[in-house]
Amino acid sequence: MEPTDQIIVALDCDNRAAADAIVERLGDECRFYKVGLELLTAVGPDVIEHLVAQGKEVFLDLKLFEIPNSVAGAVRAAGALGVSMVTVHSMGGVGIMAAAVDAARDFPHLRVLALTVVTSMSDGDLADIGVGGSTQEQVRRLAQLAAKAGCHGVIASPQDAAAVRSALGADALIVTPGVALPGESPGEHARSGTPRAAITAGATHIVVGRSVTRAPDPAAALRLVRADLGS
């Protein structure tokens, strides 16, 4: 996979104008964008349709965690919008994940990815909610559950990518948020890593946000990310 295909830029914006400005400034430098709950709630699904109409791929990060029927309906809606990836929460169990996978079958290009443990959580955070063991143990457990449910891959931190690849084998998609360039602050991510480290560990895609979107020159920043992948 070429570095250009491995980079997903997160449109973590609260208005349409800001999102459109980022896409315009990146132009042909970027072909894959993440739309999350903030942007979707603020402006609605039209932003997704607009990206797809421009030939962009969309990773719709919904982290679905509901009864199976509701999850299936949301996945079908995502497929109808033309998105390439949609997320479901692995903590919902096999029933919820399997419902998402089944709903995606009518959309050949739609991939269902299971969120394992969000990158802002540490071992202590898991203990607070009654989950024993380390974050890496929990990520591996949930990744294997996602595979059992038929998910196409998982969302995991750069630090968990190697263990997930070992658990899931060569074919699974592994998308890693919490990525920052060398020397940059990881921000709110407790388990971060560089682009190169994530891909070397087994990730298929990395998600970059402020490193690119808040840079004075987003296109130049994206080229730095691509260079780190190729170094």
Give the residue numbers annotated as catalytic, written as ranges: 63
Helix (H) or strand (E) holding 108: none
> What does each C-alpha distance from 107 to 40, 147, 180 come to in angstroms?
21, 19, 32
On whether the CB atoms of residues 184 and 167 are closer than 8 A, the answer is no
Q: How far apart are the first and last CA of the chain?
A: 15
Residues contacting 30, CB < 8 A, separation 6+:
7, 9, 23, 56, 222
Q: How far apart are CA 124 and CA 139, in angstroms?
A: 15
Name the DSSP letter for residue 191: S
